[in-house]
Amino acid sequence: MSDSSLAERGDRSEEQVSGAEVVAQALKTQGVEYMFGIVGIPVTEIAVAAQGLGIRYIGMRNEQAACYAASAIGYLTGRPGVCLVVSGPGLIHALGGMANANMNCWPLLVIGGSSERSQETMGAFQEFPQVEACRLYSKFSARPSSIEAIPSLIEKAVRSSIYGCPGACYVDIPADFVNLQVNANSIKYVECCMPPPVSMAETSAVCMAASVLRNAKQPLLIIGKGAAYAHAEESIGKLVEQCKLPFLPTPMGKGVVPDNHPNCVSAARSRALQFADVIVLFGARLNWILHFGLPPRYQPDVKFIQVDIRAEELGNNVRPAVALLGDINAVTKQLLEQFDKTPWQYPPESTWWKTLREKMKSNEAASKELASKISLPMNYYTVFYHIQERLPRDCVVVSEGANTMDIGRTVLQNYLPRHRLDAGTFGTMGVGLGFAIAAAIVAKDRNPEQRVICVEGDSAFGFSGMEVETICRYNLPIILLVVNNNGIYQGVDAGTWKEMLNFGETATVAPPLSLLPNSHYEQVMTAFGGKGYFVQTPEELQKSLRQSLADTTQPSLINIMIEPQATRKAQDFHWLTRSNI
């Protein structure tokens, strides 16, 4: 070997790499595409290194919103987004997003900087037991013992976040690791983890489920967000069509089968749940959203067929007639095989279908009557019907709030899977703008023509309103709709507020539900260079929607004033089993 070759070999053996660069390269090797966060001591160098490798870094204004955005990436793409946070309070702020991801079963990787190891127990800057704290909010929480251990730990965190029931994972990076230099040859990067293995239900259980469904007099399919995450739209759609079965989507299960499908019974939700005798759950949990599967919302002898990837969920709150453990798409295909062998259809002329269609017609008429009222201020139904008329078919709808989200679930339609994001299983307020930013970033990379419509109550908007600056900084053409009733659930009008002020009572006895009347939230958007609209009439709403949808070059916010005491139409059963309001 020549002297020059030996010299080059020696140069490579002495090449140094920092801990920040190792973290970034490990993430890149695991297929991570998106990172959200707020930089500072000690993680700034990690964000810079990630950008240098082509990972998209999106700087947010609050760690909670950053974590919500990263978790939405996990749901939309099937690979975890990364939330990068500083030590102590930064990590604590992200815990809300971790808990939300875990409750929703979405992949998420949080990377937190922490105090230097040599200063532990000494009262170091922002010292906090981060690994221990995150164990309550994640599937996996650990700190590497050395820089050399970082790649294998990140591979395990990414793999844990997507295998089995997806969820949040945490990796702690001590401050002294970030800039510490080590020999590049000492780092062994772990090959990208394989996609999650696909599991299938026992054949005997599938045969039993098909038999129970064939014998049903009043069947119902419930499609949850687990089915959307599993990309089961083709198989579930085929089951609905082939067997002529009624189906009900949960809020984020909307679009797995289009909402305008004739077999969708969302408009008769309470009636369908209350009187079905056999219910098949596709990735939907019998939690508060589905009233725990218990009477009086359900028949005492209703038979549940549960399809879920999570064994612990089977038999939760009720004893299922059949439990099908496995990947929802794969198990649905197993069911289809049974109906292919022995074809069966539920009779479309049955009394059950007649009952459901009558109730749907009645409820839809009641909603249309509310929407047609021309008195001002507008009510929720008037607003949502005008929005629905103009929504692009392939838009992503993000929704959060109380009445805003609940009524929007019934009126705003979805036709494609994974195109609805809302407060979810944990009922988390503040997710809206983070979710919208994540959806817009993915759309920008994969479908630039797609629009993201974020529908917020005025209270919900307040949780993360400063992320409007993030939206404008990255020039994301998101349309924010703030449905403004001057309060939480309900508010008071400007005249009532002024009377309270004149009596000197505002500071001490302002109703806890009230917010400042007629707040101009649209000015938050215009302050950062976007378009803002303040609307009070249906005509103004139509015009602002038309202009916002036509403008694909900048974001907009439409502040929609409605009747402060507006509420939803009377329902047989509310979403919550017991209401506090």
**Residue 174, SS3 per DSSP:** strand
Residue 193 DSSP label: P
What average pLDDT score do residues 295-324 get?
97
Q: What is the pLDDT of residues 132-187, one digit of tens each?
A: 999 999 999 999 999 999 999 999 999 999 999 999 999 999 999 999 999 999 99
What is the predicted pLDDT for the residue at 499?
A: 81
What average pLDDT score do residues 314-320 get?
97
What average pLDDT score do residues 213-231 get?
98
Residues whose CB is less than 8 angstroms from the CB of residue 403 and which lie 6 or more positions away in sequence, other chains included: 380, 457, 485, 489, 566, 567, 568
In CATH, what number does 16-186 get? 3.40.50.970
**Residue 224, SS3 per DSSP:** coil
522 near 557, Cβ under 8 Å? yes
What average pLDDT score do residues 326-342 get?
98
What average pLDDT score do residues 302-327 get?
97
SS3 per residue for 100-149: HHHHHCCCEEEEEEECCHHHCCCCCCCCCCHHHHHCCCCCEEECCCCHHH
Statement: 203-356 belongs to CATH 2.40.30.10: no
38 near 85, Cβ under 8 Å? yes
CA nearest neighbour of 229 among 162, 279, 173, 288: 162
Name the residue with higher pLDDT: 372 or 320.
320
Distance CA 391, CA 380 (A): 16
Distance CA 538, CA 111 (A): 46
Q: Which CATH superfamily is 373-561 part of?
A: Thiamin diphosphate (ThDP)-binding fold, Pyr/PP domains (3.40.50.970)
Beta strands at 531-535 and 490-491: parallel, antiparallel or unpaired: unpaired
The two three-digit tokens of residue 145, written as one number: 């013992």
Domain boundaries, the chain: 16-186, 203-356, 373-561
CA nearest neighbour of 105 among 169, 37, 36, 201: 169
305 near 324, Cβ under 8 Å? yes
Q: Which helix (H) or strand (E) holds 173?
A: strand 168-174
Q: What is the pLDDT of residues 7-44, one digit of tens each?
A: 455 555 679 999 999 999 999 999 999 999 999 999 99
What average pLDDT score do residues 527-535 get?
98
What is the predicted pLDDT for the residue at 535?
A: 98
Neighbours of 214 (CB within 10 A): 16
Distance CA 148, CA 154 (A): 11
**Residue 536, SS3 per DSSP:** coil
What is the predicted pLDDT for the residue at 7?
A: 47
Query: Picking from 33-37, 270-274, 368-372, which range would have the lowest pLDDT averaged per residue?
Result: 368-372
Q: What is the pLDDT of residues 459-489, one digit of tens each?
A: 999 999 999 999 999 999 999 999 999 999 9
The yes-or-no verdict on residue 572 having pLDDT over 70 is no
112 near 46, Cβ under 8 Å? no
What is the predicted pLDDT for the residue at 6?
A: 46
Angle between helices 19-29 and 150-162 (to 10 degrees): 40
What is the predicted pLDDT for the residue at 579?
A: 37
Residues whose CB is less than 8 angstroms from the CB of residue 252 and which lie 6 or more positions away in sequence, other chains included: 224, 225, 228, 420, 421, 422, 424
What is the predicted pLDDT for the residue at 510?
A: 78
Same fold, 203-356 and 373-561: yes
Task: State the average pLDDT for the chain.
Answer: 93
**pLDDT class for 576, splitting at 50, 70, 90?**
low
Distance CA 147, CA 188 (A): 10
Q: Which helix (H) or strand (E) holds 558?
A: strand 556-561
CA nearest neighbour of 280 among 229, 341, 236: 236
**What's this model's pTM, rounded to 2 decimal places?**
0.94
